[in-house]
Amino acid sequence: MTAHLPRRPSILIVDDSPGVRQTMEFLLAPHLPVRVADSGQAALAALTPDTALVLTDVRMPGMDGVELARTLRRTHPHLPVVFMTGVVEDDLRAEARELGVLDVLRKPLRPGVLFPALQEWLADSAATLPAAPPADTDTGPARPTPAAPTPVVSSAAVSNAVVSNPTALTAPPAPRTPDHESDPEQSGARRAAQTAQAQMFTAGLNVLPGVTASCAFDPAGVPLTPTPLDAEVGAYVRFLATAAQGVAHHLQAAAPVRAVQLEFQDRVLVVCPVPFGYVAVVVRDTPGASSVKSWMRARLSHGLN
């Protein structure tokens, strides 16, 4: 008689962002079965007897992550649920505790946080995960452990290295950057200098014709200046710049990316890499975008100060 092999547990990723779903699938699929859903309602339909964990975004159209967790507590009371969100608030944490949610992770997710957490959550299952990369020094809510920072698991991870080789996420961590210095005073002073530089830069952009919004972000996609844009835009700005750099490699373009431009029906988004991170500018039309890019190039060519 042939023995039946146990079925491998799977993880369900729920997010209305195609980039996040694709990135998480590239990251996790080599190690365990992954299913994805673009809404809370779709997640309920995607559940299988093998689903061992639901990792869901909080802010989604229709049934959001909180409502999904509330529904799962009634229909699948023993199924673990984890929230991921761009903005972690005390009220959300309190609601998560009430619903029995395992954790609230801040997006963009990082392998140094995600892999150890998954190993813990799936410890009793047959899931096989790679050796966890060192936990990063992200100051978000999830398991901060002093260690070198690791690559960001966000839309940016869909760039050349991750798409071509998902296991690259377990490679040695990148060198420590000044923003992660162990001396809080030095790190704080550097952050203050970055912020002042970013404020001066965006102040000049805001007076250009056609500009409706602008914001500066640090290399991790965290805002350096107040912004009317959505809190999660920084992750996508970083993704656009990183993806463009990957495309430049395949086009054999020697020069670094100077700007990325997205045109929508009623507005244009311009993303420009700068020494302190990235600048994102929303303008009304393509002539305005051209003016913005010319201004930024002139400013960068003469230095930021």
Six-digit token string for 221? 């996609």
User: Mean pLDDT, to the nearest integer, of 29-48?
Assistant: 90
Has residue 172 got a pLDDT over 80? no
The H or E element containing residue 59 is none
Final residue in a domain of this structure, among 87, 113, 144: 144
User: Mean pLDDT, to the nearest integer, of 14-31?
Assistant: 82
Has residue 305 got a pLDDT over 60? no
Tell me, what's the pLDDT at 186?
64
For the chain, give the mean pLDDT. Answer: 75
> Distance between the two ends of the chain, CA-based, in angstroms?
77
User: In the chain, how many domains are there?
Assistant: 2
Same domain, 233 and 140: no
Is residue 161 domain-resident?
no
CATH number at residue 106: 3.40.50.2300
Has residue 45 got a pLDDT over 90? yes
Is residue 162 domain-resident?
no
Tell me, what's the pLDDT at 271?
92
Is residue 219 domain-resident?
yes
Same domain, 103 and 221: no
Six-digit token string for 110? 């990082």
Residue 238 pLDDT class (50, 70, 90 cuts): confident
Question: What are residue 129's phi and psi, to 5 degrees?
Answer: -110, 155
Is residue 176 domain-resident?
no
Same domain, 191 and 137: no
Tell me, what's the pLDDT at 161?
29
44 and 71 Cβ atoms separated by less than 8 Å: yes
Same domain, 203 and 286: yes
Has residue 22 got a pLDDT over 70? yes
Burial 50-59 (b: 16+ CB within 10 A, else e): bbbbbbbbbe
Structural domain range at position 281: 187-301
Rounded Cα distance between 248 and 106, Å, is: 30
pLDDT tens-digit readout, 99-137: 999 999 888 777 677 888 888 887 765 455 554 443 333
Rounded Cα distance between 40 and 68, Å, is: 5
Sign (positive or negative) of CA dihedral 253, 259, 109, 56 = negative
Has residue 169 got a pLDDT over 70? no
pLDDT tens-digit readout, 180-216: 444 566 667 778 887 888 888 888 888 888 999 888 8
Is residue 54 domain-resident?
yes
Cα angle: 112, vertex 118, 122; to 5 degrees: 160
56 DSSP 8-state letter:
E
CATH number at residue 225: 3.30.450.30
